[in-house]
Structure 1
């Protein structure tokens, strides 16, 4: 297995190395996908995916030998990456990290050639790293693949967020559950955003103690669904919309509409590389990016609800 394939990505032409290399082996009913398939997918989905990546530091989940081989979680940009790829240096405890920023199709295709299956994005932008413009609630089933419980929790959370006058949008994670994303105006720091998210989760869990919990330890949760807000922290990441997951069949994290969430056949791995581009074309989050809200009035409304 050798050779290269020239691929046009925007204004650049890139050489894809070993495009026939299998990254996702066939497994039962799961289809086989090669590196060439991964490149073609990210090239096709780029117009829908890039608005969710631009300007954000990324952590890269790489699987050079496919999903059955070692996994590398890459933060620092290697020196051999092309100089046209954008970088940003951000503070970390005891120093700095130089993250990659994906602003164009060529960068996305280059990452696919590096066997980056899954880009994970920051919830803040490189120019304001301490001020998130996204809040994420992470909803996974307590046991197995009970997606009905995830759907129910998402609807309860949406109802509460509507009361707080905060827009929200669901996304299948391509793994087991959903992310519920709230666009913010970027005026508050991570500590304030996470504290607000924790207050929302606590209020909802108190209202539905048999279904939901905010208990951090698994042994304290029982069969209740955990309302996880821990991604809302500095340098924490969340899987990017339209990112491929390192699982058999190449499932994809896909934004969905609230109407689609009502579909009883929906689950976290509903879309794969084979059909996620079609879903992206429906633009299920239309208008969400322009609706970032302040948490200050929402916090006052939550205080009033909690009495």
Structure 2
């Protein structure tokens, strides 16, 4: 997938120079394959048609690993002045000032970020211009460990949460995190601010946990969770991020955060790192989310249904 020397990659009207494409970012061993920067660039180029709709217009936080997954990492919010002028920026308010986030609107930007060893793209749940109004709500199903039994609990919880969201008449979609758990993503209209969305998500999580107190928890402190699965809704807040669909995670074997269909929960091969840069594009071509992300709902009717459940 990659050459031994410097190379250039065409992306639409632009050409992106890939420096040291032979550099190993994901060392092999222990049953995992080795992948280079060139492999990362080739993956992002292939997956761009499926990934960009989930990135366009959204401020990003970049997780960079210049020396590969075994080296130091740093989280980059502010866009360096050295980045090309054609890369979109979004200046958003923070306490005491502003941050100029990178926005990935096209394939050339995606490849440029791969050349910068930005392995993982963490996206805002809102868009530039309406940063205080999210159009995504995310439930992070975070197991206490990384065993097959732990992931079995993630599967079961995803089904329970999906059933509750169906009862609330909210569309939802599944995604592996590429790490340990699953994300359940709900499209919303962008009419509500982050406080409203997070409060609603917390009430949904509390309702689910109350029905299964021995298995589920919304306790933010690890010491209060025991061996229960954590229903994390903290990403539904201003300036918080969630891993983007089809982004690569900084773990051995280059696993990918991958959308999947609800029916795929029955796949015995499924775990949080089921897909890697070797096969995530094949999964993307199945269009597992279809049109669900275009079905954003306001939370008013769902809130009334949830309140009725909570009071029953």
Q: TM-score range by the shorter chain?
A: over 0.9
1:212 aligns with 2:216: yes
After superposition, the C-alpha distances for 1:217-247 in whole angstroms (9 at most, x for unaligned) are 1122111111100000000000000000000
Which one of the candidate residues 27, 32, 53 is aligned to 1:25? 27
Which one of the candidate residues 46, 64, 67 is aligned to 1:65? 67
After superposition, the C-alpha distances for 1:7-27 in whole angstroms (9 at most, x for unaligned) are 111111111111000000112
1:57/1:121 contact within 8 Å kept: yes
Equivalent residue number for residue 102 of structure 1: 104
Equivalent residue number for residue 232 of structure 1: 236
| Counterpart secondary structure, 1:297 | helix
Distance in 1 (alpha carbons) for counterparts of 2:29 and 2:99: 37
1:50 aligns with 2:52: yes
1:22/1:33 contact within 8 Å kept: yes
Unaligned runs of 5+ in 2: none
Structure 1 position 144, deviation (Å): 2.9
TM-score (norm 2): 0.97
Distance in 2 (alpha carbons) for counterparts of 1:137 and 1:56: 19
Which one of the candidate residues 276, 289, 297 is aligned to 2:301? 297
1:4/1:18 contact within 8 Å kept: yes
Measured on the aligned residues, the alpha-carbon RMSD in Å equals: 1.0
Distance in 1 (alpha carbons) for counterparts of 2:116 and 2:221: 36
Distance in 1 (alpha carbons) for counterparts of 2:256 and 2:32: 13
After superposition, the C-alpha distances for 1:33-88 in whole angstroms (9 at most, x for unaligned) are 00000000000000000000000000000001100111010000000000000001
Structure 1 runs (4+) greater than 6 angstroms displaced: none
Equivalent residue number for residue 91 of structure 1: 93
1:61/1:119 contact within 8 Å kept: yes
Distance in 2 (alpha carbons) for counterparts of 1:4 and 1:60: 23
Equivalent residue number for residue 125 of structure 1: 127
Structure 1 position 210, deviation (Å): 1.3
After superposition, the C-alpha distances for 1:75-108 in whole angstroms (9 at most, x for unaligned) are 0000000000000100000000000000000000
Distance in 2 (alpha carbons) for counterparts of 1:16 and 1:217: 42
Structure 1 position 291, deviation (Å): 0.2
Number of aligned residue pairs: 307
Equivalent residue number for residue 273 of structure 2: 269
TM-score (norm 1): 0.98
